[in-house]
Amino acid sequence: MSEAQTVELAAVTKRYGDALAVDAISLKIRAGSYCCLLGPSGCGKSSTLRMIAGHEAVSDGDIMIGSRIVNDDPPALRGTAMMFQSYALFPHLSVAENVAFSLRMKGVAKDERLARAARMLELVSMSDFADRTPNLLSGGQQQRVALARALMTEPSVLLLDEPLSALDPFLRVRMRSELRRIQSELGITFIHVTHSQEEAMALADLVVVMNEGRIAQAAPPREIYNAPRTPFVARFIGGHNILEDGGRTITLRADELAILPEGRASEAQRRARISEIEYRGPDVRLGLETEAGESLTAVMGERDFFESPLREGADVAVGWRPEAAHELARDG
């Protein structure tokens, strides 16, 4: 496998006619790190990935991989490989020939390319399926083949376009840990587009939250979760309450919001009515309506909740530690 490379975007812009899909974003992704581009659909994350891959021309700005500007290079010269959302396996070729496709294009002899494909299929535990055609495989199996095919070009950067979105939830979690394992084994740079904050949190060294063609925040997952920069980021990653407090916009993690016992009601910042109680196994989620009309969410540990259970419709005092409040910048 070739050496990992840094990927650097400098004011990269993508325009489709008059529509601005990606608006002058700049970003540096360290070599060998796992980066997730996270955002709602239409935020420009896929266009960004496709520009890095070379399947979409850059309207403005530069893309650097390693120390080279690759704007005009075809995909194969960039040292990138892409794994497509629909997997894009060639339906007329066997699994082994799919994986060996890039070698075939280079003119590698049949025996050698099939031998190397077999080794790659071992890495993704698909050796038993080498002779089948892709339409006989399940979604998860197709994905492993697509991964093997992408890795076959020995890329220094692997680009993944919503790789897990077509899988069922159980498989998604399993493939997630497998992706992480393969990334750390190969040590190459992974750039992964997703709209699932859970996926991004679980996988990434660097989470890039995008909105309307711009980067809302780029930081490690813990920083994103504990110190979201804008209300959009806080809302998108979830588990946060955004409220106005003393003229500033603050965010509070749902597990920092406490239901205060009657004895400490004087410390309460808000009074609220419980609108919803949702039991979730390890914890319990409370929906709260404050007197000021704000909707808040509190999450309590399962044991804590059942020590003094609450009922829907009950009026409670709500408080938080002052340090837990995190001030947000404006969106945009």
Partner 1 sequence: MTDLTDTRAEVRSARTSARKAGRTGAALAPYLQAAPMALVFLIFFVLPLAATIAVSFWQYTQYSIEPAFTAQNYGDVFYGCLANLPSLCTTFLTYISTLKFCLIVWATTLTIGFTIAYFLAFHVRTLKVQVICFLLCTIPFWTSIVIRMISWIPLLGRNGLVNQTLMGMGVIDSPLEGLLYSDFAVILALTHLYTLFMVVPIFNSLMRIDRSLIEAARDAGASDLQTLRHVIVPLAKPGILIGSIFVVTVVMGDFLTIGIMGGQQIASVGKVIQTQMQFLQFPLAAANAVILLAAVLAAVWALLRLVDIRKEL
**From CA 211, how far away is CA 40, in angstroms rounded?**
7
Q: Which stretch binds partner 1 (CB under 8 A): 80-88, 218-226, 240-248, 310-318?
A: 80-88
DSSP 129: G
Print the SS3 string covering 105-124: HHCCCHHHHHHHHHHHHHHC
Cβ neighbour number for residue 8 with a 10 Å cutoff: 18
Q: Shortest distance, CB of residue 35 to partner 1, whole angstroms?
A: 19
From 17, 18, 91, 309, residue interacting with partner 1 (rule: CB under 8 A): 91
From 92, 280, 311, 321, residue interacting with partner 1 (rule: CB under 8 A): 92
From 16, 90, 279, 306, residue interacting with partner 1 (rule: CB under 8 A): 90
**From CA 234, how far away is CA 217, in angstroms rounded?**
10
Q: Which stretch binds partner 1 (CB under 8 A): 22-30, 88-96, 163-171, 229-237?
A: 88-96
Q: Shortest distance, CB of residue 105 to partner 1, whole angstroms?
A: 5
Cβ nearer to partner 1, comparing 46 with 141: 46
Q: Shortest distance, CB of residue 49 to partner 1, whole angstroms?
A: 12
Cβ nearer to partner 1, comparing 186 with 325: 186
CB 158 within 8 A of CB 191: yes
CB 94 within 8 A of CB 87: no
From 20, 88, 260, 268, residue interacting with partner 1 (rule: CB under 8 A): 88
Q: Which stretch binds partner 1 (CB under 8 A): 34-42, 147-155, 234-242, 301-309?
A: 147-155
CB 250 within 8 A of CB 243: yes
Taking CA 114 as the corner, what is the angle to CA 172 and CA 141, rounded to the nearest 5 degrees?
15
Q: Shortest distance, CB of residue 13 to partner 1, whole angstroms?
A: 21
The residue type at 256: E
**From CA 320, how far away is CA 243, in angstroms rounded?**
13
From 86, 138, 165, 295, residue interacting with partner 1 (rule: CB under 8 A): 86
**CA diameter of the chain:** 80
Q: Total binding residues for partner 1 by CB under 8 A?
A: 25
Give the footprint of partner 1 on this chain (CB under 8 A).
Answer: 53, 55, 74-76, 80-82, 84-86, 88-92, 101-102, 104-106, 149-150, 152-153
